[in-house]
Chains A and B, each alone.
Chain A
Amino acid sequence: MIESHGGPREGGDIYVGPSVEHGHPTAQKYIAIGVILAVITAIEVAVYYIPEYVPGFAPLLPPILLILSAIKFSLVVMFFMHLKFDSRLFSSFFVGGLLLAGAVLIALLALFHHFFA
């Protein structure tokens, strides 16, 4: 049987939701995550301009930007898309596609000599 979540319905009768929804964050937590995402975006933009003033910082820029982007990506997927709380089957579909796309990217970059130019 499909796991479900109880709550009132517009018509006043009892709601039985069709999906797994246990442990979803509260609205306050969603807003807190939104604030964190906004702050990380501001940091990304600030970090982008640092090499203009500190040229020695330039080699650090790509890894820092990639890490910040990965944090934002993970927060949205885990909390807004609920993969942290939902069935692992959903995660396998998504992560499978993501890993395959990443493999395609790395393979193409290697083929076009981006790593060992």
Chain B
Amino acid sequence: MEHAVTPAHAAHAEHETSTGLDHRKIAMWAFLGSDCLFFGSFISTYMIYRGRSIVGPCPHECVINGVHYEGIFSIPYTSVSAFVLLMSSVTMVLALAAIQRGNHRGLRVWLLATALLGSVFVGGQYFEFTSFWRHGLHLDTNLFGTTFFVLTGFHGAHVTIGIIMLLSLLATSLMGRLPTSDSLTVELTGLYWHFVDIVWIVIFTLVYLLPI
């Protein structure tokens, strides 16, 4: 397919590859495929140890060795967090649509909105963790604490890295160094962001909603 192209971008945009696909995008999908296994391992570990703690606290109301424990999960609170992260995926894809149309103001607005929604999610997770801590659930309290904090902690770290990537893109755009021809950079960041969203879709169902 032939297109008119500026010399500055010709080598960058039109480089030949054996697959006809951009190597950066292939690399990102390969990384996301491997990250499925990363989170798959933590989710599997959480699932096999569900309900096997020998002391409380528990995610939902439970009785262990005759001792009754109130559940520490707040489903309404986590539902709002899940909704916020889900909506950040919408703003992320709108940022991509904006740069693909050459709308750089729209790109900056949606990137900022995505970073803010991501920050709200991470802030909410920090509040949830401190709340659990006050209820006596630590990393080494029981099997639930260990598997829960490791799984959701690594997810929170992924979201934090995503926010840094979004803010870097925003700064690059504000400096005028993110032309429409570099929309793939936004697309790759978007793929990463949507991935952390779909991981949370799975965590929200398997960890929070599914009864033991």
Complex-state Cα separation, A38 to B82, whole angstroms: 10
Q: Which of B48, B101, B206 has the most CB of A within 10 A?
A: B48
Complex-state Cα separation, A67 to B150, whole angstroms: 26
- A27, A76, A104: the one contacting B44 at CB < 8 Å is A104
**In the bound complex, do residue B48 and residue A62 qualify as a contact, i.e. CB atoms below 8 Å apart?**
no
**In the bound complex, do residue A81 and residue B20 qualify as a contact, i.e. CB atoms below 8 Å apart?**
no
A19-B187, A97-B33 as given contacts; A5 in contact with B26, CB under 8 Å:
no
A23 in the interface (beta carbon within 8 A): no
- A14, A62, A97: the one contacting B35 at CB < 8 Å is A97
Q: What residues of A have a CB within 8 angstroms of the CB of B37 in the complex?
A: 97, 100-101, 104
- Mask, B1-26, CB within 8 Å of A = 1, is 10111100100111111011110011
A62-B210, A69-B202 as given contacts; A93 in contact with B26, CB under 8 Å:
yes
**In the bound complex, do residue A80 and residue B89 qualify as a contact, i.e. CB atoms below 8 Å apart?**
yes
Sort chain B's interface into a size bin. Answer: 35 or more
Q: What residues of B have a CB within 8 angstroms of the CB of A20 in the complex?
A: 21
B154 in the interface (beta carbon within 8 A): no
**In the bound complex, do residue B90 and residue A90 qualify as a contact, i.e. CB atoms below 8 Å apart?**
no
Interface size on A, residues (CB 8 A): 66
- A27, A72, A90: the one contacting B201 at CB < 8 Å is A72
- B20, B94, B187, B191: the one contacting A2 at CB < 8 Å is B20
B34 in the interface (beta carbon within 8 A): yes
**In the bound complex, do residue A2 and residue B33 qualify as a contact, i.e. CB atoms below 8 Å apart?**
no
- B20, B45, B82, B210: the one contacting A1 at CB < 8 Å is B20
Complex-state Cα separation, A15 to B100, whole angstroms: 9
A9-B179, A90-B29 as given contacts; A17 in contact with B100, CB under 8 Å:
yes
Query: Which residues of chain A from 9 to 54 have any CB-CB distance to chain B below 8 Å in the complex?
Result: 9-11, 13-21, 24, 26-27, 30-31, 33-34, 37-38, 41, 44-45, 48, 51
**In the bound complex, do residue A58 and residue B79 qualify as a contact, i.e. CB atoms below 8 Å apart?**
no
CB distance from A25 to the nearest CB of B (A): 8
**In the bound complex, do residue A73 and residue B201 qualify as a contact, i.e. CB atoms below 8 Å apart?**
yes
User: Which 10 A-B pairs rank lowest in CB-CB distance, beginning with the nearest?
Assistant: A101-B40, A97-B33, A34-B90, A97-B36, A69-B205, A8-B102, A93-B29, A9-B180, A112-B48, A93-B33
Binding site for A on B (CB under 8 A): 1, 3-6, 9, 12-17, 19-22, 25-26, 29-30, 32-37, 39-41, 43-45, 47-48, 75-76, 79, 82-83, 86-87, 89-90, 92-94, 97-98, 100-102, 104, 176, 179-181, 183-184, 187, 190-191, 194-195, 197-198, 201-202, 204-206, 209-211
